[in-house]
């Protein structure tokens, strides 16, 4: 069976893995990414880590997941806030030249969705929309085993979708942007105005709501309605076979997903109401998904 190298590159840490074609992680090495020290240091470190992978020369491809949008045509990052100096940098081309193995780049949320589509919860489906709900909100459309990132690499960047124009201005995103209304960060922000700094994470708000606290229930109900609107908007565009939900907030999915689905059905065309919502299955979507990027290109 073929194997691939998957690289999960962040601004602080990096993991490099050897992964089989069916998604089994065969070996992993990890360490600091030196992401703030520029491309020279980051690339030298990646080359060292790849050479630590057993039998790396036998791998059929290298895939890299990065924290930012990727231009699929040039295989470079379009924006590299967490990796200074990498906007437009030929990371994939440099590794391909170094190792003689086909190398591809994609956004980290995209690769997680790709992993779930190919070897996870969406295996066997043609059209998947993967949404990650965590500190922020992101997504990716996977069609026939390949992420659809668009001309500029911003396809699936759903954080800025407006769900209500009458909300407050929070940051650089649109007023009423879904990330500012329903992400983990947003839930904590709203709850702290009521309960103070004792709210450390969104899970505490779900706990309060489950105990019947009216203010917490109101926050959660609004989140469910907002996410329902977001999913209804996405469904109008791509009508996926399935929505797959990942990210840290899935730890509390039993506290809000039923409400999200109910609101999705209210706000969608009736024909879309049977669209399944499933929780992501994979334990290591970052490195598995990175390894699947060469697969999506036919290697």
Contact 26, 50 (CB under 8 A): no
CA–CA dist 5, 26 (Å, integer): 10
Q: What is the pLDDT of residue 246?
A: 94
Q: Give the CA angle between residues 22, 235, 290 to the nearest 5°.
A: 25
CA–CA dist 199, 203 (Å, integer): 9
Q: Are residues 131 and 275 in the same domain?
A: yes
Q: Measuring CA to CA, which residue among 240, 237, 246, 236 is closest to residue 269?
A: 236
Q: Are residues 151 and 92 in the same domain?
A: no
Domain span including residue 86: 3-114+283-296
Number of domain units in the chain: 2
| Residue 163, domain CATH | 3.30.420.40
Written as six digits, the tokens of 114 are: 């790709």
Q: Measuring CA to CA, which residue among 194, 247, 246 is closest to residue 220?
A: 194
184-195 and 214-238 helices, crossing angle to 10°: 160
Q: What is the pLDDT of residue 149?
A: 85
Q: Measuring CA to CA, which residue among 135, 133, 130 is closest to residue 148?
A: 130
Q: Are residues 274 and 129 in the same domain?
A: yes
Q: Are residues 74 and 87 in the same domain?
A: yes
Task: Kindly write down the DSSP assignment for every residue of 27-65, as one continuous string.
Answer: EEEEEE--TTS-HHHHHHHHHHHHHTSTTGGG-S-EEEE
Report the chain (299 residues): mean pLDDT per 10 consecutive residues: 95 96 96 95 97 96 94 91 94 97 94 95 96 93 92 88 95 95 97 96 96 97 98 96 95 96 96 96 94 94
Q: Is residue 119 part of a domain?
A: no
Q: Measuring CA to CA, which residue among 142, 148, 105 is closest to residue 122?
A: 142
Q: Is residue 53 part of a domain?
A: yes
Q: Are residues 149 and 261 in the same domain?
A: yes
Q: Are residues 33 and 95 in the same domain?
A: yes
């Amino acid at each position: 069976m073929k194997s691939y190298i998957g690289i999960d590159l962040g601004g602080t840490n990096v993991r490099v893995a050897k992964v089989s074609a069916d998604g089994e992680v065969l070996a992993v090495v990890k360490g600091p990414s030196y992401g703030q020290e520029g491309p020279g240091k980051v690339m030298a470190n990646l080359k060292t880590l790849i050479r630590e992978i057993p039998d790396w020369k036998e791998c059929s491809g290298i895939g890299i997941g990065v924290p930012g949008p990727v231009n699929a045509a040039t295989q470079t990052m379009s924006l590299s806030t967490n990796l200074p100096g990498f906007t437009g940098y030929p990371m994939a081309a440099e590794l391909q030249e170094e190792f003689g193995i086909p190398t591809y780049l994609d956004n980290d949320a995209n690769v997680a969705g790709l992993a779930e589509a190919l070897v996870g919860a969406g295996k066997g489906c043609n059209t998947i929309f993967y949404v990650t709900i965590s500190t922020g909100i992101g997504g990716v459309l996977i069609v026939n085993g390949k992420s659809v990132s668009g001309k500029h690499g911003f396809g699936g960047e759903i954080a800025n979708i407006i769900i209500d124009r009458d909300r407050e201005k929070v940051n650089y995103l649109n007023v009423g942007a879904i990330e500012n209304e329903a992400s983990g960060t947003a839930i904590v922000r709203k709850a702290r105005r009521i309960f103070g700094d004792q709210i450390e994470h969104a899970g505490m708000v779900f706990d309060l709501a489950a105990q019947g606290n009216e203010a917490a229930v109101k926050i959660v109900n609004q989140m469910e309605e907002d996410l329902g609107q977001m999913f209804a908007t996405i469904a109008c565009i791509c009508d996926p076979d399935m929505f797959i939900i990942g990210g840290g907030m899935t730890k509390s999915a039993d506290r809000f997903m039923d409400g999200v689905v109910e609101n999705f059905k209210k706000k969608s065309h009736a024909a879309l109401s049977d669209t399944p919502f499933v929780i992501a299955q994979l334990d290591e979507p970052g490195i598995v998904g990175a390894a699947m990027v060469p697969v999506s290109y036919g290697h």
